[in-house]
Amino acid sequence: MTAGKHRPRWTAVFGAPLIVGVLSLAGLLSALLAGDFGRYFCWIAVALPVAIVTIVWLRPRFRRD
């Protein structure tokens, strides 16, 4: 479960949240600025946090099966 005893790097802690954050922001703006393509990208990017939480929530259920 843990990442080991070495000194943790900030990218290991904040890397994934940063990517999710940047994509979320890009998604929020893309539907305003980039027409139909922006709208489709927006749906995917803004839904990313929901997808992550859903996957993490389902993970132990699949593991048990």
Partner 1 sequence: MATGGASPPASATSGKEARLKARTVRIWSLVHTWTSLISTIFLLLLCITGLPLIFHHEIDEALGYAPQPEAAAGRPHAPSQTIVQAALAADPGRVMQYVSWDKDEPGIVITFTNTAPDGNPDDTTLRAFDAVTTKPLGKVGVGPMVIVLKLHVDMFAGQPGKLFLGGMGLLFAVAIVSGVVLYWPFTRRLRFATIRDKSARRVAWLDWHNLIGVVTIVWALVVGLTGVVNTWAELMLNQWKATELADMVKPYAGKPPPTHLASLDDVVARARQAAPGMEVAFVAYPGTPFSSSHHYAAFMRGDTPLTSRLLKPVLLDGETAEVSDTRALPAYLQALLISQPLHFGDYGGMPLKIIWALLDVLTIIVIGSGLYLWFARRRKRGRNTVPSEQVALAR
* Site residues, partner 1 (CB under 8 A): 1-3, 7-8, 10, 12-17, 20-22, 24-25, 28, 31-33, 35, 39, 42-43, 46-50, 52-53, 56, 60
Shortest approach of partner 1 to residue 26 CB, angstroms?
10
Shortest approach of partner 1 to residue 7 CB, angstroms?
8
Q: What distance in Å separates the CA atoms of residue 30 and residue 14, rounded to the nearest whole number?
A: 24
Q: What number of CA atoms fall less than 13 Å from residue 9's CA on the CB side? A: 4
Token pair belonging to 19: 């990517």
Q: What distance in Å separates the CA atoms of residue 35 and residue 62, rounded to the nearest whole number?
A: 38
Shortest approach of partner 1 to residue 21 CB, angstroms?
4
